[in-house]
Amino acid sequence: MSNKSDTLHGGREITVQLISGETKAILVRQLRVSEYRKAFPLIGDEIRLVAFASGLTEAELDEIVPEHYELLQAALWEVNAKGFFAYAARTRRVNEDALVGLPPELLKSLSDKIASTLPTPSPALPPR
């Protein structure tokens, strides 16, 4: 749950364990309003969104043990619940409302066009 210190410090620091056994402190940021438009397209790609809010690359995230990745993901939702994720929910509702009543063939065409612009999923990582 978000608290006043999250806002005061611009996010929440989470200590994670790396696969190597080391630990590392990572700040999961409370996104600034100016970042909302850039972060919104990442809603469908949780890993990229966690990386964006944490200032990490996907390769750096891959070095974190899975249980501790989950701590980062939970912190992302908690520190951004009343900000970015509220904005994202409103934006989705507005976008969905704008589509109501459009002819089915236009919806299909729009859906195909959107699908062609989505990022391709990250390839599976090779086994270690």
pLDDT in tens, the chain (128 residues): 545 555 546 899 999 999 999 999 999 999 999 999 999 999 989 999 999 999 999 999 999 999 999 999 999 999 999 999 999 999 988 777 777 777 878 878 877 877 777 666 655 555 55
Total-model pTM: 0.72
CA-CA distance, 97 to 93, in Å (whole number)? Answer: 6
Other Cβ atoms closer than 10 A to 80: 24
SS3 23: strand
Dihedral of the alpha carbons of 91, 92, 94, 99, in degrees to the nearest 10:
150
Strand (E) positions, 1-128? Answer: 11-17, 23-29
